[in-house]
Structures are given as structure tokens and as C-alpha cells.
A = this chain, B = another copy of it.
Amino acid sequence: MGERTIRIALLGIGTVGTGVYKLIRRRRDVMMRTAGANIEIARILVHSLNKERPGIDRELLTDDFDEILEDPSIELVVEVMGGIEPAKTMILKALNAGKNVVSANKDLIAVHGRELFEAAENNGCDFMFEAAVGGAIPIIRPMKQCLAANEITEVMGIMNGTTNFILTKMSEENMSFEDALAIATELGYAEADPTADIEGLDAGRKAAILACLAFHSRVTFDDVYIEGITKISKEDIAYARELGNVIKLVGRAKNTEEGIEAGVYPLMIPKDHPLAEIRNSFNAIYVYGDALDEAMFMGRGAGEMPTASAVCGDIIDVARNIMHGCCGRISCTCYRQLPVKESGKVSNKFFIRMKVKNLPGVLAKVATVFGLHKVSISQVIQKYSGGDCAELAIVTEPVREYHMRDALSLMNAIEEVKEICSVIRQF
């Protein structure tokens, strides 16, 4: 039997694309043995043909997507350009032309997932996206296959390496947010514009995608409540330590009787929880299910080669499907339509830190306002902080978010409350 060659096209050759290019070349032999076919990069779509790209074969470059689309010998398109457009149009065109697609594009999938999966299904094509969540960490395939018999009740994880690096520096080296961000930028963990990371948008996209997989119901980026880490201060980190916790930016999705909760926010997690130990730029995803009990997946959530590891795993899997004539064997698993819960109805414990006047009766006034809004207090730490000023740190029992918001807005009407410094959820 002659050797079969599967020709693929890369859309984009930035960081991830370069990693994929290198790994395919490095692993040619393994891919042949595990996929049963040669995998050959036939074309690479770029914006500008003239840019210097050391190590990349210039012959493969094209700036014309139609060359790829109209080449029937290309069976798989690997989208590693990122962003919504032109990625979306190109992926849809590729699928509609009967080409399989592997994508690492969380931004796109978190918003337009349904359309992409439908196009894949209608055309009997594979649409794989293991790299879109958790980088090198196997999570999409485990959710769709290994854990498929479970009723997943909750997914929670550290889904962004940049913010985890920053929070680790703040916790372990007593740095301010600004200093830690500066180091993250210097080391290349944070981009020139770090907004998507530090404001939680990147984690929000991943949380949306994981919620779809976990609950078999479409959750989009817009459905996710999002809060970043820019307001976390050294003082909050110190209180977290005092309470036996660490602060992590978590993405969380929960299936409740009132609907799906999906959110990204800083969370105080007890020190002995496995997620508390996930340090620096590592990511980790925790899954709860009725049969599996609990499981955690940890690894590198980003970077050239870790992301390429996931993309190339998908490429090998598509190649196997091509060789066995079963492309499209696992399609979209969102067969339910569950409501998404309003964020105000979600219950959480809260940590609240406020500056108050150091006078008798202040705590009573604060406690009264909380009580009126169904907020039960489980712990209070009061510290004199100089002059006529004291600091109150309060931990609550679980309370609906809208009750908490109402209570906090009334708190400002108490004359002795000078400032509400922090409101952080607690596990």
C-alpha cells in the first residue's frame, strides 16, 4: 500500500502557527505511525508575503485564501490567526467546501460556536478546537468523550496564565498589581495591551466554551458575568492569607435548577484546595460530575509549543478520521436548551473590606444594613488603622448577588462608612 499524504493549510503563522509548523516537521514520523498518513503543510495563508519569517518555507506562503479553498487536495484547514474576522468567514467557507477544520480560536468559538458547529455537521466535517481552552491541557476531548456518561454539575478553573502569574507574584512576593503586571509584560506573559487577560475577557471566553461542553447547552461569551483582577490590592492578598485562603481568578460554570451560572471573577480559595496550589502561569480546570466525583486537569494554558501540542493532537485525530472515513464522528454536543441564570440571582459568599470611622456602633449599623438585605455575616475582623479610622473585613454566608449589591449601595448612606475598598467572592 502506498503511503497516503494528507495535505493541510495553515491560516496564519504567528506564535501558534509557527509552533504548529515546527511540531509537524519535528514529528513527521510519529504522525505517520499514529495517524497512518503523512501530514504535509501544503499552504500557509499570510497577510503580507514580504515579511521576514525565519525558518518558514517561503514557497508555501500565499495571501489568497481562495487558493486554499479551491485546492481540492487540501483536506484540513488549521486556523491559527485568531480574532473574529476574517477567521469566521474562512472557517465557514472551508467547512462548506467539505474541508475539516482545526481551530485554536476561543474568541470566535465563544461567540459564534453554534454557527461553526452547524456548518461542520451539515458538511460531515470535523471541527476540532482542543487548543481553544487550556492550551496544552487535554480538556475538550475528555469532556466530550471520557466524561460523556456523567451529569457534570460544575466546572471551575484557572483559565488564564497571565493573571495567575500576576496573582502568584502578589501572593508570594508581596508585590502590587502594577509591579506584578510589569514583570509579566517583561517576561512576555502579558501582551502590550493586557486588557483581555487582566479584565477576565480571555477567561470568560473559555468559561463559555466549557459551560457548553459541560451542560450540553449553548452558553456564549455574552452570558458570562465578568470581573477582572485590576482592583485586587496587597491588602486583599494579606486578608486572604489571614483567612487561610489565596486569591485566584477563576472561570466557573454551574448547572442549577434555576439555570446555568457562568462567571469569571477573583475568588478566595482555601489553601488546601488543589486549585490553590496552581502557581505562576499554569492553568487548571476542576470538573465535578455525578459518577466521576471530581477531577482536575493542570498544565500550560498558553505559549507557542503548548498550544501547538493541542493543535497537532487535533490534526492527528482529524487525519485518523480521514483515514477511516469517519469525519464528523463527534459533532456538537449541545442538544439541550437550558436557561442562563441572571447574575444577580447567583449565590456566593463574599469578603468585604471597608474603611469606617473608629466609633462605637458602626459595626451595628453595618450589620443592620446587611441584615435588612438577607446577608448573614459569618466572620468579622476589625483593625484600627490610625487617626479616627478603622478597617472592617467581613465574610458573609452565601447570599444572592442582587441582595449584596443592594446592601452595598445602601452602605454608602451610612455616614461612618468612608469607603468600600473591596468586594471579593469566597469559595
A315 to B149, CA, bound (A): 9
**How many Å from the CB of A422 to the closest CB on chain B?**
28
A315-334 Cβ-contact flags toward B at 8 Å (1 or 0):
11100110111101110010
Q: Which chain B positions have C-beta within 8 A of A207?
A: none
Contact yes or no, A149 B31, CB < 8 A: yes
Q: B142, B298, B306, B335: which contacts A141 (Cβ < 8 A)?
A: B142
Contact yes or no, A306 B321, CB < 8 A: no
A111-149 Cβ-contact flags toward B at 8 Å (1 or 0):
000000000000000000010000011100110111111
Interface range, A side = 35 or more
**How many Å from the CB of A368 to the closest CB on chain B?**
42
Which residue of chain B has its CB nearest to the CB of A286? B298
Q: Which chain B positions have C-beta within 8 A of A310?
A: 146
Q: Binding site of A, secondary structure by majority: helix, strand, loop or mixed?
A: mixed
A320 to B326, CA, bound (A): 10
**How many Å from the CB of A189 to the closest CB on chain B?**
14
Which residue of chain B has its CB nearest to the CB of A328? B324
Any chain B CB within 8 A of the CB of A309? yes
Contact yes or no, B136 A138, CB < 8 A: no
Q: Which chain B positions have C-beta within 8 A of A326?
A: 321, 324-326, 329
Q: B24, B148, B299, B325: which contacts A34 (Cβ < 8 A)?
A: B148
Any chain B CB within 8 A of the CB of A289? yes
**How many Å from the CB of A233 to the closest CB on chain B?**
25
Any chain B CB within 8 A of the CB of A369? no
Q: B146, B306, B317, B330: which contacts A291 (Cβ < 8 A)?
A: B306
Oligomer: number of copies: 2
Contact yes or no, B150 A146, CB < 8 A: no
Contact yes or no, A298 B296, CB < 8 A: yes
Any chain B CB within 8 A of the CB of A293? yes
Q: B142, B149, B274: which contacts A298 (Cβ < 8 A)?
A: B274
**How many Å from the CB of A354 to the closest CB on chain B?**
34
Q: Which chain B positions have C-beta within 8 A of A180?
A: none
Which residue of chain B has its CB nearest to the CB of A131? B146
Contact yes or no, B30 A148, CB < 8 A: yes
A30-71 Cβ-contact flags toward B at 8 Å (1 or 0):
110110000000000000000000000000000000000000
B-facing residues in A194-232 (Cβ within 8 Å): 216
Q: Which chain B positions have C-beta within 8 A of A30?
A: 148-149, 151, 216
